[in-house]
Amino acid sequence: MLTRKIAYIDLTRGTVQQEVIPLEWREKYLGARGINMHLLSSLIHPGMDPLGPENPLIFGVGLLTGALGFGAGRFNLTAMSPACGNIGDSNCGGHFGAELKYAGFDHLVITGKSADPVYLEITNDRIEIKAAGHLWGKDTWQTQLALKEELGDSRVQVAAIGVAGENQVRFANVVTGPKDTAGRTGMGAVMGAKNLKALAVRGSKDVTLAHPRQLLAYFKTEYDRLMERKWIKALGRLGTPLLFSVAHQGGWRGNRPVPGGVVGERGKHLYAENLLPFSVGMAACTTCAVHCRHRHLVPGGKFGKFSGEGPEYGAIMGVGLELGNFDLESVLYFSNRCNHLGLDVTQLGIMINFAMRLYQDRIIDAGDTGQALEGGDIGAIEKLIEDIAHRRGFGDILADGAYALENLTAKAAGHMHLIKNMPAGPPGWGAVKSFAMSMGVASLPGHVHRSRPGIDVLRLPADVLENLYGGYVSPDFSSYEGKARMIWWHELLNTLCDSLGNCRFQTVFNSPHAPQYREYSELIRLSTGLEMPVEQLKETAERIYTTERLLLIALGVGSRKDDLLPAGWMTVEGPTRIDRDQYEKFLDQYYALHGWDAQGRPTPQTLERLGLKG
């Protein structure tokens, strides 16, 4: 487990250098997100062009990825983000991460730019840079199939970009399998800028475990316990789309402004149960028994016959609710199309929603867009998806995300809700105060995966929450009380999950009794032999998260003013509004828990405790 390597690949020079990952890095940062951020902090600087050759693209596999863990099949992909100009990081599931470990590598640092399109073939301690001109222009699924055939092995795992990445759409994805995506922050655009079409990985190296028999017994006991949880059972039947129906029924989604008005009864068309007639089974990532991924088949209709995996909750929102589109068949089709093109479905939804609101308010018109942009217009949505991916017409402007404002009238800026320069969509999350506030302070700008405490909407008894979080947290999701502690706690736990390669849905996200520090400590010991008690794991997570904060500070977006939510989120009327005074109190409490000063900078004492330099 501890003998995997890191490879430094320079596409400009065509060189590959391999090194053993230092044990000190393991002890301080574990793997995946942790080591990626340690590397990123030394490789990027203010003023660096995210689409330039020196921007490092870092693949990182979790410490436990490919072994027995709670959904331990995940990897992180990290760089300076073309979407926002600061930290870019994506966490991805499927089977690619485990295959990379089996090939002998836990981390890849890719710099430079190839003169012509290339892909990387990675097989058992060997990395070759190969020509990919024949793959350029293919979608992500075509690319994967072509490489499996070219290499003569159907078990090759491929991570590829589509035409969106080739065209450097700032929120382009990297896709592996039918739908596993390293999304949101534009990692596909970084690959496209480097003329890197794909990575094809096949490995057969053993993963040596410290205590294999004990690990198997422990894992079986803990997984049996996990599989009895209501949340996990529902996830295995309905997948992440179940979150939309829970939100709609529970009233905590809020009346998020969508093209076409308030959601109301129309939202029921997007419920997860309505996916079941199209479902042909459930799939899983490496080492996962939950099987939360729908495989669907649509036999015919307005889009003809098609099949794929998903959609995830993000697609239900991105190409459904965000766009006033309550036609489930089109949501399935658009989700698939985004996966093939290599487009992030969440950021896509935010940008098309933005364009529709500009159109409604007559800031732009059909002369600008080439078509009417009314909410729920399936034809307009389909055309805009293609135009964004291919950078055609008005789609070329939207493809730049936050930077689209440079090519729009000044009035458009009031409709772009930014967090650290990342478009975050119109107000809506504020009905659950912790959801909105966690986006404001997240080390990954405006991202829900850094710390969203799904458990906040369960209305658990106060004593259960206090026992879990070590201090008072209000059971009322509309309350601000104790939510700084809740968000801080989930930030650290999610940091640990990402660095181990575990799935966040199989930890304390929607179940207070799911695995967390104690279970992770034992898995690390039995898998690697490293003794990392609970308190050491918490300190490790704090070190990684503080490393990210220091990086934001270095890039000029790590102060109190940068943690503020968009003005529109604090002035909107109704239950989704975030009170400014309450938010300022939240920041004070949140900074204190991290050991940061009133401006959000880690104190000298905190840096010394964590062994970091300011």
175: DSSP letter: E
**pLDDT tens digit sequence for 427-470:** 888 999 999 999 999 999 989 889 999 999 999 999 999 999 99
Specify the pLDDT at position 260.
66
**Do 377 and 466 belong to one domain?**
no
In whole angstroms, give the CA distance from residue 238 to residue 416. 33
Say yes or no: 386 and 454 in one domain. no
Q: Is the pLDDT of residue 1 over 90?
A: no
Residue-range definition of the domain harbouring residue 511: 429-610
The encoded tokens of residue 293 equal 């991924």
| DSSP code at position 61 | E
Report yes or no on 211 lying in a domain. no
Query: Tokens in use for 46?
Result: 């203010």
Burial of 304 (0-12, 13-18, 19+ CB in 10 A): exposed
- What is the per-residue pLDDT for 68? 87
pLDDT tens digits for range 148-183: 999 999 999 999 999 999 999 999 999 999 999 999
pLDDT beyond 70 at 320: yes
Q: How far apart are CA 423 and CA 435, in angstroms?
A: 16
DSSP letter at 270? Answer: G
Q: How many beta carbons lie within 10 A of that of residue 156, not counting itself? A: 20
Q: Are residues 433 and 374 in the same domain?
A: no
Query: Are the C-beta atoms of 84 and 402 separated by less than 8 Å?
Result: yes
* Cα pseudo-dihedral 464, 312, 80, 61, rounded to 10: 70
Based on the domain organization, do 404 and 434 belong to the same domain? no
Task: Please state the separation of Cα 380 from the chain's center in Å.
Answer: 27
Q: Is the pLDDT of residue 244 over 90?
A: no
Looking at the domain assignment, is residue 234 inside a domain? no
Which residues, in sequence order, are CB contacts of 383 under 8 Å at separation 6+?
A: 371
pLDDT-based confidence at residue 256 (cuts at 50, 70, 90): low
- Stretch 489-504: mean pLDDT, rounded? 97
Same domain, 10 and 154: yes
Of 190, 568, 534, the C-alpha closest to 416 is 568
Same domain, 454 and 358: no
Residue 254 pLDDT grade (very low, low, confident, very high; cuts 50, 70, 90): low
Task: Read off the pLDDT of residues 568-586 as tens digits, 9 standing for 90 and up.
Answer: 999 998 889 999 999 999 9
d(CA 278, CA 329): 9
Domain-located, residue 233: no
- Calculate ∠ Cα 86-33-15, nearest 5°: 80
Q: Are both 49 and 189 inside the same structural domain?
A: yes
User: What is the rounded CA–CA span in Å between residue 530 and residue 398?
Assistant: 48
Which residue matches tokens 């422990």?
218
Query: What is the total count of domains within the chain?
Result: 3
Average confidence score pLDDT of the chain: 95
- Whether residues 483 and 388 share a domain: the answer is no
302 and 162, same domain (yes or no): no
Q: Is the predicted pLDDT of residue 129 greater than 90, yes or no?
A: yes
Nearest to 331 by CA among 361, 311, 314, 360: 311
Place of tokens 């991570």: 159
Per-residue pLDDT averaged across 125-138, rounded?
98
Enumerate residues 6+ apart whose C-beta is below 8 A from 452. 434, 435, 438, 490, 509
- Inform me whether the pLDDT recorded for 352 exceeds 70: yes
Distance, CA of 173 to CA of 164 (rounded, Å): 8
Task: Give the confidence band of 262 by pLDDT, cuts at 50, 70, 90.
Answer: low
Per-residue model confidence (pLDDT) at position 481: 98
Q: Quick one: pLDDT band at residue 258, thresholds 50, 70, 90?
A: low
Residue 64 belongs to domain with CATH number: 3.60.9.10
User: Per residue in 272-292, pLDDT tens?
Assistant: 999 999 999 999 999 898 999
Q: Are strands 126-131 and 105-111 parallel, antiparallel or unpaired?
A: unpaired
pLDDT for the residue 247: 80
404 and 439 housed in the same domain? no
Half-sphere exposure of residue 604, counting CA atoms within 13 Å on the CB side? 0
- Cβ atoms of 100 and 197 within 8 Å: the answer is no
Task: Tell me, yes or no, whether 136 and 102 share the same domain.
Answer: yes
Residue 427, pLDDT score? 84
DSSP state for residue 603 in the 8-state scheme: P
Dump pLDDT digits (tens) for 198-213: 999 999 999 999 999 9
- Contact between residue 103 and residue 201 where contact means Cβ atoms under 8 Å apart: yes
Query: Is the separation of the CB atoms in 526 and 397 below 8 Å?
Result: no
Q: Which of 150, 270, 267 is nearest to 198 (CA)?
A: 150
Q: How far apart are CA 70 and CA 506, in angstroms?
A: 6
Residues 256 and 394 in one domain: yes
pLDDT at 265: 82
Backbone angles phi, psi at 106, to 5 degrees: -105, -25
Decide if 346 contacts 318 (C-beta within 8 A): yes
Which pLDDT value is given to residue 186? Answer: 98
Of the listed ranges 224-233, 329-338, 434-443, 516-525, the least confidently predicted one is 224-233
Strand partners, 19: 6
Q: What per-residue confidence (pLDDT) applies to 257?
A: 58
Taking the C-alpha atoms of residue 48 and residue 456, their distance in angstroms, rounded to an integer, is 39
- Residue 422 pairs in a beta bridge with 419
Beta pairing partners, 8: 17, 109
CATH number assigned to the domain comprising residue 486: 1.10.599.10
